Amino acid sequence: LAKTTQPISMDSYEGQEVNITCSHNNIATNDYITWYQQFPSQGPRFIIQGYKTKVTNEVASLFIPADRKSSTLSLPRVSLSDTAVYYCLAVTYNTDKLIFGTGTRLQVFP
Amino acid sequence: KAGVTQTPRYLIKTRGQQVTLSCSPISGHRSVSWYQQTPGQGLQFLFEYFSETQRNKGNFPGRFSGRQFSNSRSEMNVSTLELGDSALYLCASSLSSESTDTQYFGPGTRLTVL
């Protein structure tokens, strides 16, 4: 299973765009990049998933370059409620489990 | 549609006791996974059940066990509790057992072992 590396913490201000980069050098052909968000004392919440190029939903965008060795989660115009821990996972198709890393603790200031 | 529910939300036990945690998946979901979250080790996969069968297991001792019922509800049991078992136990459900299916997490059960 591919190991992911992401910054331990990031700070931002309300209204700014936040980009969190995740490194996954040994990603396998059948791995998907998936991001989860977790607030204190709550379970993680799925944000977005992609395989390559760009994926966008109502919450975020995910950019995956052609070599797939890294990916970037982009949160447009963050608010205080986006303060949370963000986990990047390389999910292998058909292996049935999620391997969480340490995550990135995002703090949004007013 | 109701989300994943876990009971109880909080639990205090003493060393040596055993505990059973319950998880009700989203209606129609057939896969249930369990995770342990601690400040030191982060989120760690315990096991996954699909159609009443354990399909995958993490690296935890045999004191940790689980089962799934025909209605997809799942229980997790920890016997001979140790102080290190204090953690937030999270249950997640998904439609099938495909890892790329979105997993929906419950609020967790916070277990404190004294």
Question: Strand B109-113 relative to strand B10-13: parallel, antiparallel, unpaired?
Answer: parallel
pLDDT band at A1, cuts 50/70/90?
Answer: low
pLDDT confidence tier of residue A26, bands split at 50, 70 and 90: confident
- In this structure, are residues B99 and A98 in contact, taking their beta carbons and an 8 Å threshold? yes
Rounded CA-CA distance A102/A88 in Å is: 9
pLDDT at position A43: 92
- CB-CB: which of B42, B48, B104 is closest to A97? B48
In this predicted structure, the answer to whether residue A98 has a pLDDT above a threshold of 80 is no
Contacts of A104 in chain B (CB under 8 A): none
pLDDT of residue B29: 93
pLDDT at B55 over 90: no
Are B108 and A41 in contact by the 8 Å Cβ rule? The answer is yes
pLDDT of residue A92: 74
Distances (CA, A) of A62 to A54, A75, B74, B91: 6, 9, 33, 26
B100 vs B104, residue with greater confidence: B104
- Chain B contact probe: residue of A48, A85, A97, A105 with most B CBs at under 10 A: A97
CA-CA distance, B31 to A83, in Å (whole number)?
30
Average pLDDT of chain A, as a whole number: 90
Partner-chain residue, chosen from A42, A91, A99, that has the shortest CB–CB distance to B100: A91
Q: Please judge whether B110 and A41 are an interchain contact, meaning their C-beta atoms are less than 8 angstroms apart.
A: yes
Closest CA to A4 of B42, B70, B38: B42
Which of chain B's residues have a Cβ under 8 Å away from the Cβ of A95?
56, 99
- Please answer yes or no on whether B48 and A32 come within 8 Å at the CB atom: no
**Predicted confidence (pLDDT) at residue A96 exceeds the cutoff of 70:** no
Residue A64 tokens, joined = 């995956």
Counting one residue from chain A and one from chain B, the pairs whose CB atoms sit within 8 A come to 68
Half-sphere exposure in the Cβ direction for B13 (13 Å, CA): 25
Give the type of residue at A109.
F
Find the CB nearest A32 among B55, B100, B108. B100
In this predicted structure, the answer to whether residue B76 has a pLDDT above a threshold of 80 is: yes
Q: What is the pLDDT of residue A93?
A: 65
B56, pLDDT greater than 90: no
pLDDT digits (tens, 9 = 90+) for B10-53: 999 999 999 999 999 999 999 999 999 998 888 899 999 999 99
Give residue ranges of B with CB < 8 Å to any A CB. Answer: 4, 31, 33, 35, 42-45, 48, 50, 55-56, 58, 88, 90-92, 97-100, 102-108, 110
pLDDT of residue A77: 93
Whether the pLDDT of residue B112 is over 70: the answer is: yes
* Residue B83 distance to chain A (closest CA, Å): 20
pLDDT at B42: 85
The predicted pLDDT at position A28 comes to 82
**Closest Cα in chain B, distance from residue A96 (Å):** 4
Instruction: Say what the pLDDT of residue A76 is.
Output: 94
Residue B102 to residue A49, Cβ atoms within 8 A: yes
Q: Other CB atoms closer than 10 Å to residue A25's CB: what's the count?
A: 12
